[in-house]
Chains A and B, each alone.
Chain A
Amino acid sequence: MEKYLILNTLNYPILSMLLIVPVVGAVVAMFLRGDTLLKYWSLAVTLVTAIISIPLWTGFDRTTAKYQFVELRHWFPELNLNYVVGVDGISVLLVLLTTFVMPLCVLCSWTYIQTRLKEFMVVMLLMETAMIGVFLSLNTVLFYIFWEGMLVPMYLIIAIWGGARKDYASIKFFLYTFAGSIFLLVAIIALYINTGTFFIPELMAHTYSFSFQMWVFIACALGFAIKVPMFPFHTWLPAAHVQAPTAGSVILASILLKMGGYGFLRFCLPIAPAATYYFVPVLIIMSLISIIVGGYLALGQTDIKKLIAYSSVGHMGFVTLGIFLLNDGGIKGAMLQMINHGITTGALFIMIGLIYERTHSRELADNNKLGMMMPIYVTFLGIFSLSSLAFPGTNSFVSEFLVLFGAFDKYPLVGALAIPGAILAAAYMLRLLQKMVWDDSDGHVHHGDKSHHIADCNAREIVQLAFLTIFVFWIGLHPTPLLDVMDTSVAHLIHQVDAGSILPDAAHQGEHHALLNDAGAWIKSIVSF
């Protein structure tokens, strides 16, 4: 087991602390009184978690693809089940994204959440543990526990603090995600029966028969595709985003959607490489459809939040496209796109929440002509909108460029088909920007008219947005440190997939399954068409 791992060399269990601190914070929060105290407490807990996570960046060994900072404890020896957590180049950035986005989520709920604040903060902190846990788990059971553990807090966030149609949205969210994770559970059990281990690196090293890989791939991919969300499983996302409170939308966009992409990279690719190769055409086509459909639907929205929600579908399409290009540019681009989408779309949701608190409407028509009234807000809106449309010099450009590079390098036609997505992104973001900043205003503020007055951003809001702005330009102009972190792990992953895709004949002939062969032939006929 040790050949996959580098045990934690720090003198404290850093990863376990990341998991425990928010839970302890949540338990303490239950006993606190007074909204102000609760807010500051939650902020402090999330900030402490963020600070604890910093050594993951500074102490990360960029030269190895092994799992680092690992903690290993025996749990159920008779099941060969251990508590094992660790990070590699694929997960470490997502952990950091989570720990750094959470304080912003607390800050953006500062005045937004008016009812049941204590419950809200407790749920948020539990959510943090679950999310970090998903990225840290090196064990399928632990992974599944955290994966399902995210579901309930998120359901509560939408169902209790959501908008007018919160019941519909929360149930839809729950059903979709739960349906996906059931298949995931089946895959986990099947893998255990086949190999007798839950330990993910060992599962990756094992060679499976082709038909077994097919089933595992389908079961996992379904769960992850819903989470991403990939067309045609994307319909829960706009509903959930629109109804969720700001912090909920930010978590959803910045972190939850990344679980899908992470799942593909952690499970589907290395465990079922031959099946991955088999399904590449289907998944690339679905990604392209997501990119274009997401962008096209975003263009038609009048609800700002819905617009950004559909834009997420398009952006995440670039993620899955990059992943299934299975080359260096594609996968690095996809991983960077996950981080960038977390930063940019998270910021845009914060901005929407901010304007909603002022005008109590998410309609474009009610939130236009802000240019003269809210110069600071509009400046940030401009920055994040440009970032969202992959303006050169901002973060998204780098990832989009890498994915397109991967695409043009491998399948030029796929690259050409992804370009309309980039055009649509420019179209809907510039439309949003034009309407919110100017629309048909005549360029004069209505100074005397008090009813037109909308307060500009306050210090708390500026801090949140400025913090994310730093990352927009940092990644946009100097992404090398992030790419370095991924480098070795991505190379290792590509090697795993390439090596695993060449199955010995024996494995091919292994357990044949009539139904599967039929399904395979059917898919092949679609693909070849």
Chain B
Amino acid sequence: MNTIITSKIIITMLIPMITGLLVMFSGKKPNLRDSWSTLGAILTFVSVLSFLPTILDGKQLKYTLFELYPGVSVMLNLDGLGVIFALVASFLWILASFYCVGYMRGLNEHAQTRFYVCYAVSVGAAMGAAFAGNLFTLYLFYEIVSIFTYPLVMHHQDKEGYWGAKKYIIYLMFTSKAFLLPAMVIIYVLAGTLDFQTANIAQGIFPADASRVAIGVAYLLCLFGFAKAGIMPLHNWLPDAMVAPTPVSALLHAVVVVKVGVFSICRVMLSVFGVNVLSETGLGLFTAYFVSFTILMASVIALTKTNLKARLAYSTVSQLSYIILGVAMLTPNSITGGLIHIANHAFAKITLFFAAGAIFVASGKKDIKEMGGLGYRMPWTMMAFGIASLGMIGIPPVGGFVTKWYLALGTIDIHNWILLCVLLLSSLLNAGYFVPVFLQGFFGKPLPEDAGVTGSLEKQPLVMFMVVPLVITATISVVIGVYPDLFLDLINLMVKS
């Protein structure tokens, strides 16, 4: 494995942070401010893209910024897993920054400057997490994400907002202090370093004679410590965080924040503990069963929700666990299925949230029951919603199918019929809560006050700002379903070792 030491990789993380500063100082000029956001997003994406050829070449980029203590440092290391997450998050930020303009101006929201600053810094910190080269760096950026998304969750500054934000920060801070901090210390005591083993996912960083009990404890602490992944029973913050403006729910609570959690868990499983240790101790299979409960239970809860965003939130909880399920099965196919879902879920779920937000801005509707016949007034939005739903259910040619295919192959590799049944059952449940939304949109009966109104809602300029991004994301989720090669190549780099 070639490792190139270069300070260039700091750029990706710095651009969003600088964007945040520029936004802060141009708060008085909304057009300039919003252009900074978009520009920052584009540059971030380009910078990630520029590292892609090197990574595809099988090399890794590495840079140590600060050394705190031997084995504990702020170190960036970009490999296949990190680049998938960074690519997806930075690309979606571009679309989200357009979408934000439409949403925030469409609703004439207050404190928009604060909103954009925190938004940019959160994305920057997520980039840092994607690039993290050791557990401390990951923890550092994980915590920065928590702190900077707090003002976004309480953005409306009403009772609901404060309550949701309080719950949010309590869940995230409590778990990180109570579980992650000791986990990190235990890992350091056992291994003498916190640096990831990125060259080989099989080995992990522990010496062969490390106590298996201590490793098990550290693993469980990590699993629960990264509460952003929304594994039950620590998922409850996510539905309440949906009080935030929809662009926050869309980018952060469907892509960036929750994916930081899931990404961190995958990273810890693959680069700290390693496949060998997890399979030898049975922790992998335990995790697979454990998250299976979340997959099914969250889907059942989603069925009962009639508020569109709440339903999407529970769907997110359920879908995130697919990623962990895939990695936990510890076979090449299942890991591929799990990791590719980082991208597939991101594109599909952001489309769904974008659609929910566009519907809210254009028509003021939040509840699924009210959306009868809306498909005729917002055809693009509803079609995109339909396509993304197919992705969630796992129907070809949308990306979600690739995930389910590899995950199913993984269950067959380990001859585990229970997990295969979980997959199939959860797909049925997914269909159970997504199809009715689509049907309601096109075939449902409009509310009495909407009857007879047929004018399109998508023609207003600000709504256009929202519809165009969501059409693009829906298209891409089909494209990566048909051509998943880029992501498969990146994952292969890791899995083949």
Interface set of A (CB-CB < 8 Å, partner B): 386, 391-393, 398, 401-402, 404-405, 408-409, 412, 415-416, 419-420, 422-423, 425-427, 430, 434, 438, 440-444, 477-480, 483
Contact = CB atoms under 8 A, between A and B. Distances in A.
12 contacts: A408-B182, A408-B189, A412-B186, A412-B214, A420-B178, A422-B177, A423-B174, A423-B177, A425-B177, A430-B169, A441-B157, A443-B157
A262 B477 CA distance: 62
A443 B111 contact: yes
A405 B188 contact: yes
A344 to B, nearest CB: 17
A393 to B, nearest CB: 5
A386 B157 contact: no
Contacts of A409: 189
A386 B146 CA distance: 12
Nearest to A480: B67
B154 interface: yes
Interface in B132-178: 136, 139-140, 143-144, 147, 154, 157-159, 162, 166, 169-170, 173-174, 177-178
B177 A402 contact: no
B185 interface: yes
Given A438-B154, A477-B74, A408 B185 contact: yes
B66 A408 contact: no
Interface in B66-105: 66-69, 72, 74
Nearest to B165: A434
A443 B66 contact: no
Contacts of B173: 426-427, 430
A404 B136 CA distance: 14
B182 A404 contact: yes
Nearest to A372: B111
B420 interface: no
Contacts of A479: 68-69
Interface in B169-223: 169-170, 173-174, 177-178, 181-182, 184-186, 188-189, 214
B162 A419 contact: no
A404 B181 contact: yes
Residue among A386, A398, A426, A483 with most chain B CB within 10 A = A426
Nearest to B159: A440
Top 8 closest A-B pairs, CB basis?
A443-B157, A392-B140, A477-B66, A423-B177, A404-B185, A426-B173, A408-B185, A422-B177
Contact of A478 (B67, B158, B166): B67
B68 A477 contact: yes
B8 interface: no
Nearest to B157: A443
A442 B178 contact: no
Given A393-B144, A477-B66, A480-B67, 20 more contacts: A392-B140, A392-B143, A398-B68, A401-B69, A402-B69, A404-B185, A409-B189, A415-B182, A415-B185, A419-B177, A420-B178, A422-B177, A423-B174, A423-B177, A426-B174, A440-B162, A441-B157, A477-B65, A477-B74, A478-B68
A78 to B, nearest CB: 50
A366 B289 CA distance: 51
Contacts of B214: 412
Contacts of A440: 159, 162
Contact of A434 (B66, B144, B166, B181): B166
Interface of B: 65-69, 72, 74, 110-111, 136, 139-140, 143-144, 147, 154, 157-159, 162, 166, 169-170, 173-174, 177-178, 181-182, 184-186, 188-189, 214
A392 to B, nearest CB: 4
Contact of B66 (A430, A438, A478): A478
A73 to B, nearest CB: 40
Residue among B177, B181, B185 with most chain A CB within 10 A = B185
A392 B68 CA distance: 11
A419 B67 contact: no
Given A434-B166, A477-B74, A480-B68, A442 B158 contact: yes
Contacts of B162: 438, 440
A440 B147 CA distance: 18
Instruction: Determine the main DSSP class of B at the interface with A.
Output: helix
Contact of B186 (A398, A402, A408, A427): A408
B182 A416 contact: yes
Contacts of B170: 427
Contacts of A412: 186, 214
A423 B178 contact: yes
A477 to B, nearest CB: 4
Contacts of B154: 438
B215 to A, nearest CB: 13
Contacts of A441: 157
Given A393-B140, A408-B185, A426-B177, A442 B69 contact: no
Contacts of B67: 478, 480
Nearest to A475: B68
A442 B162 CA distance: 10
B68 A442 contact: no
A480 B143 CA distance: 23
A243 to B, nearest CB: 32
B185 A405 contact: yes
A373 to B, nearest CB: 14
B139 A386 contact: no
B147 to A, nearest CB: 7
A454 to B, nearest CB: 19
Contacts of B147: 386, 391
A101 to B, nearest CB: 24
Contacts of B181: 404, 419, 422
A289 to B, nearest CB: 19
Nearest to A473: B66
A391 B140 CA distance: 8
Given A401-B72, A426-B173, A478-B67, A419 B136 contact: no
Contacts of B186: 408, 412
B189 A443 contact: no
Contacts of B184: 401
Contacts of B68: 398, 477-480
Nearest to A416: B182
Nearest to B66: A477
Contacts of B65: 477
B63 to A, nearest CB: 14
Contacts of A438: 154, 157, 162
B132 to A, nearest CB: 11
Contacts of A401: 69, 72, 184-185
Contacts of A422: 177-178, 181
A478 B186 CA distance: 22
Nearest to A476: B68
Nearest to A420: B178
Contacts of A419: 177-178, 181-182
Contacts of A393: 74, 140, 144
A473 to B, nearest CB: 10
Contacts of B140: 392-393
A416 B166 CA distance: 26
Contacts of A434: 166
A391 B185 contact: no
A405 B184 CA distance: 9
Contacts of B169: 430
Nearest to A429: B173
A386 B169 CA distance: 13
Contacts of B159: 440
B162 to A, nearest CB: 7
A319 to B, nearest CB: 18
Contacts of A415: 182, 185
Residue among B65, B66, B144 with most chain A CB within 10 A = B66
Contacts of A391: 143, 147
A483 B72 CA distance: 14
A479 B143 CA distance: 20
A59 to B, nearest CB: 24
A402 B169 CA distance: 25
Contacts of A442: 157-158
